[in-house]
Amino acid sequence: MKRYLLLAAIIPLILACGKDSAPATGTPETITVDGAGYTRAVYEAGAVVMPDRHAVLSGAMHPYFEGFEMLVSNSESHPGGTLTADMTGPVYILAPSSPVPSGWHLVADTSAGESTCNCTYGSSVIAVSIFSKIVKAGVKVQIPVLEGVLPAIPLARRINLKEDSSGSGIAANEVQVEGGGLVDVRTVKRGQKAFPQNDSYLFADDAPAAVGGNLSCAVGLIDGKGVSRMRFGSGETPLVAFDVESVPGWTSTGRSFAMGALTYNVFTLDSYRAGEWIDMPSPSGVEHCPFVFGHVINVIGLPEFGDAVISEVARLRSGTISNACIAKLPDGSLLAACSGAKEAQGLSMFRSTDHGASWSSYGNYSSEVNLIENYTNLFVRDDTVYLFGVAAERKGLRVSRSTDAGLNWTVPDTDSTGLILPGIYHTAQVPCITANGRIWRACETYNDDDTSKQPFMISAPEDSDLLDASSWTATNVITNTSYYIGADRISSMIEGNAVQAPDGSIVNLIRSNSAASSNYATILHVTGTDVLSYDPASDWVRMPGGGKKFTVRYDAQSGLYWSLTNPHTEGDFSHAGIYSGGLQLSLRRNRLVLISSPDLRTWTEKAVVLENPDPFFHGFQYADWVFDGADLAVVVRAAYPEVRGLPVRQHDANKFIFVKVKDFRNK
């Protein structure tokens, strides 16, 4: 969160400092540099910025940029070249504090009051600062060629060096790896975890020393195979590490590193042609996953899921996508939102005018200004769009209104402008429905654990002012959220769906968690507008994936209720790491399935929408959807392997994706 708060302060400063007028929608994830003479480093205290003089950084390091990649070069070489960003926003260089590079603007450190640190070599000290300019996606920007000793240093989360002149098809300082979708990219740095989903093995100082610096590494689960084949750019030295003393065809470097009881030896190739694919060797005696090292490692050969990637986290494993929701606007376009996207802190909104085939950032919504940032859903009434949710720290049930198709939004800060209920609440991207002359939505009180979250319903007359708190009525809270279905204990009920039952009554079909099963939901009945109740003996429902978040909507054309759920994959899933005791059913989210019911009680699986056999790093979850003619338009909070490596786990989504379920009624 601190990174994004700092960025929110940096961007207005940049915009105010010069003639750049391109919209700043967030820090670009990747820049591509076309230039020669660069080597890689990481922005941190002690980083070497002029290798020929062993000039290092020290002093007041800017906290926002810690861990960013840098392209450094020898003193007085001033390689210049161009950089190109992958999205519109600010790009950065590190350069001497004075004079300010022409066309660039100082980035202030909002916590320390300045961003100046020192480049020190021998008895010489150069004050350096970070400078920025706003650029448009895909537009080349000249890297300043400076006078003096210290060259300008490009700075970004990820830097791709343009393919070198050898024609190898791979950038000079790039390593490409393949590995069946279960390869992670991690930093070889003291204190960093060496293996994904394993907290027991950390790199120490001897690991960077053994490979020649804080490189990246490609690795799989500790008891997995990891990389199956690899290739290296012309500026890379092939380096691998195994927990054995010899590797046929590879030469020992004589260096090793230890992690607890494990010792890995480092090997290289005596001769190698850049861009040539080579298989990972399989020496006898290997017990744990090998490592591949390089400056920039990209995992390739991976499938994308869904029909479009709307957005993704800015930095893998340092944030998650959540609050995925969607609405169909009166003009037929689709409006979607999520939090955790690279576009902005808080909630980001996107629009598609081609039924989900392509998406773009949309509107002027800001969680800082418009307050709602969590547990969000979009709801359309006539020509007006509403956004429901809570503010920071789960404060207050709120609703914001847009009368211009999601472009601008009201601020729900009082009981007459959208603050429906004060207090602390939990929900999700649950549907709003209009039935029996009222608008209905499910909610829960909030406590620190799921067993203390207690469901209730809110409703308002459909012709009332939805921003006026007095329009809304809340039911009682269900306090007895735990019951038994035979020997299976339902431990909590959360993230419910307001639904009109076949008899015309309003119910809350609610996710029901249990350790032994993920296949139950519960029906809570609304009487009048203020009474909510259920009978544990008769109101449980066997529902595939009912123990995980789902959205239910009724389709009058088919006469069926429809949902997308995560029925668990059968089998015993464990590995030598955080899931050594097995993967609980509630976290098996690697299948997204279309289901239907004529009565909310009997559910049938109709089609698998998304699926992968791996349940540890794949999660297609919290799907929200709307009817779009004969199709379903679906947004998904998705976790799956990508070019940058693996998500933390299946729960922690790194992608916001769109899926079209075509001709769903005939599945």
Mean pLDDT of the chain: 90
Q: Is residue 235 domain-shared with residue 377, that is, in the same domain?
A: no
> What does the DSSP assignment read for 562-631?
EEEE-PPPPS----SSTTTT---GGG---EEEEEEESSSSS-EEEEEEEE-S--SS-EEEEEEEEEETTE
Residue 81 pLDDT > 60, yes or no? Answer: yes
State how far the Cα of 77 lies from the Cα of 175, in Å rounded to an integer: 25
Confidence band of 53 (pLDDT split at 50, 70, 90):
confident
The residue assigned the tokens 């001033």 is 78
Would residue 169 count as lying in a domain? no
Mean pLDDT for the stretch of residues 104-132: 78
Residue 107 pLDDT > 70, yes or no? Answer: yes
Cis peptide leading into residue 101 (ω within 30°)? no
pLDDT tens digits, 604-643: 999 999 999 999 999 999 999 999 999 999 999 999 999 9
Q: Is residue 145 domain-shared with residue 277, that is, in the same domain?
A: no
Whether residue 548 contacts residue 517, with contact meaning beta carbons closer than 8 Å, is answered with: no
> What does the DSSP assignment read for 175-244?
EEEE-TT--EEEE--TT-BSSTT--S-B--THHHHHHTSS-EEEE--TTS---SEEEE-TT---EEEESS
**pTM, entire model:** 0.82
Helices (H) then strands (E): counts for the chain: 3, 50
pLDDT given at position 289: 97
Which of 135, 161, 187 finishes a domain? 161
pLDDT given at position 68: 87
pLDDT tens digits, 493-552: 999 999 999 999 999 999 999 988 899 999 999 999 999 999 999 999 999 999 999 999
Lowest-confidence pick of 172-186, 193-207, 426-440: 172-186
pLDDT given at position 517: 86
pLDDT tens digits, 251-297: 999 999 999 899 999 999 988 988 999 999 999 999 999 999 998 89
Lowest-confidence pick of 28-42, 170-184, 477-491, 605-619: 28-42
Q: Is residue 116 domain-shared with residue 232, that is, in the same domain?
A: no
Whether residue 110 contacts residue 168, with contact meaning beta carbons closer than 8 Å, is answered with: no
Q: Is residue 186 domain-shared with residue 144, that is, in the same domain?
A: no
pLDDT given at position 449: 64
Residue 40 pLDDT > 80, yes or no? Answer: no
Residue 325 pLDDT > 80, yes or no? Answer: yes
For 572, the token pair is 């015993």
Compute the CA torsion angle 469, 472, 477, 483 (nearest 10 deg).
-130
DSSP 260: T
pLDDT given at position 395: 95
State how far the Cα of 163 lies from the Cα of 169, in Å rounded to an integer: 6
Confidence band of 110 (pLDDT split at 50, 70, 90):
very low
Would residue 168 count as lying in a domain? no
Which CATH number goes with the domain that contains 526? 2.120.10.10
List the one residue out of 323, 331, 411 whose CA is nearest residue 371.
Answer: 411
Whether residue 626 contacts residue 555, with contact meaning beta carbons closer than 8 Å, is answered with: no
pLDDT given at position 167: 57
CA dihedral (359, 360, 364, 365) positive or negative: positive
pLDDT tens digits, 388-426: 999 999 999 999 999 999 999 999 999 999 999 999 999
Residue 73 pLDDT > 50, yes or no? Answer: yes
Other C-beta atoms closer than 10 Å to the C-beta of 191 total 9
Q: Is residue 178 domain-shared with residue 271, that is, in the same domain?
A: yes
Would residue 167 count as lying in a domain? no
In one letter, which amino acid is 416? Answer: S
Question: What contacts 87, CB < 8 A, 6 or more positions away?
Answer: 25, 26, 28, 29, 137, 342
Residue 10 pLDDT > 60, yes or no? Answer: no
pLDDT given at position 643: 92
Lowest-confidence pick of 171-175, 363-367, 415-419, 598-602: 171-175
Mean pLDDT for the stretch of residues 23-45: 76
Burial class of residue 248, CB neighbours in 10 A (0-12, 13-18, 19+): exposed
Helix H or strand E segment including 256: strand 251-259
CA dihedral (253, 255, 258, 263) positive or negative: positive
Q: Is residue 206 domain-shared with residue 245, that is, in the same domain?
A: yes
Would residue 513 count as lying in a domain? yes
Confidence band of 111 (pLDDT split at 50, 70, 90):
very low
pLDDT given at position 65: 86
Residue 17 pLDDT > 60, yes or no? Answer: no
Residue 440 pLDDT > 50, yes or no? Answer: yes
Confidence band of 581 (pLDDT split at 50, 70, 90):
very high
Separation of CA 176 from chain center:
22
CA dihedral (368, 370, 376, 378) positive or negative: negative
pLDDT given at position 93: 93
Would residue 654 count as lying in a domain? yes
Instruction: Please give the tally of structural domains in the chain.
Output: 3
Q: Is residue 146 domain-shared with residue 210, that is, in the same domain?
A: no
Compute the CA torsion angle 71, 75, 81, 84 (nearest 10 deg).
20
Whether residue 552 contacts residue 521, with contact meaning beta carbons closer than 8 Å, is answered with: no
Would residue 51 count as lying in a domain? yes
Structural domain for 10, as ranges: 2-161
Residue 7 pLDDT > 50, yes or no? Answer: no
The span from the first CA to the last CA of the chain, in angstroms, equals: 43
State how far the Cα of 440 lies from the Cα of 521, in Å rounded to an integer: 19
Residue 168 pLDDT > 70, yes or no? Answer: no
Helix H or strand E segment including 324: strand 322-328
Which of 107, 135, 161 finishes a domain? 161
Mean pLDDT for the stretch of residues 63-82: 83
Q: Is residue 370 domain-shared with residue 518, that is, in the same domain?
A: yes
Q: Is residue 598 domain-shared with residue 523, that is, in the same domain?
A: yes
pLDDT given at position 19: 33
pLDDT tens digits, 221-249: 999 999 999 999 888 899 999 999 999 99
Q: Is residue 126 domain-shared with residue 241, that is, in the same domain?
A: no
Residue 4 pLDDT > 90, yes or no? Answer: no
- For the chain, give the number of residues: 667
Of 156 and 24, the one with more pLDDT: 156
Which of 106, 132, 161 finishes a domain? 161
Residue 39 sits at φ, ψ, to 5 deg, of -130, 165
What are the start-end ranges of the E strands in 1-142? Answer: 30-34, 39-42, 48-50, 55-59, 69-72, 82-85, 89-96, 105-106, 117-121, 124-135, 141-142
Would residue 166 count as lying in a domain? no
The helix/strand/coil state of 531 is: strand
Mean pLDDT for the stretch of residues 635-653: 97
β-pairing verdict for 124-135 and 117-121? antiparallel
Residue 3 pLDDT > 80, yes or no? Answer: no
CA angle (173 as vertex; 169, 178 as ends), nearest 5 = 60
pLDDT given at position 114: 53
For 553, the token pair is 């909507």
pLDDT given at position 146: 87
pLDDT tens digits, 332-354: 999 999 999 988 789 999 999 99
List the one residue out of 31, 158, 137 whose CA is nearest residue 83.
Answer: 31
β-pairing verdict for 174-178 and 117-121? unpaired
Query: Which range has the top average pLDDT, 18-32, 66-80, 495-509?
Result: 495-509
Residue 5 pLDDT > 50, yes or no? Answer: no
Q: How many CA atoms lie within 13 A of 174 on its CB side?
A: 23
Other C-beta atoms closer than 10 Å to the C-beta of 102 total 7
For 121, the token pair is 């070599």
Would residue 144 count as lying in a domain? yes
State how far the Cα of 403 lies from the Cα of 410, in Å rounded to an integer: 9
Q: Is residue 205 domain-shared with residue 145, that is, in the same domain?
A: no
Q: Is residue 295 domain-shared with residue 312, that is, in the same domain?
A: no
Other C-beta atoms closer than 10 Å to the C-beta of 489 total 14
Alpha carbon of 457 to those of 452, 473, 496, 508, 528: distances in Å? 16, 8, 9, 8, 11
Confidence band of 35 (pLDDT split at 50, 70, 90):
confident
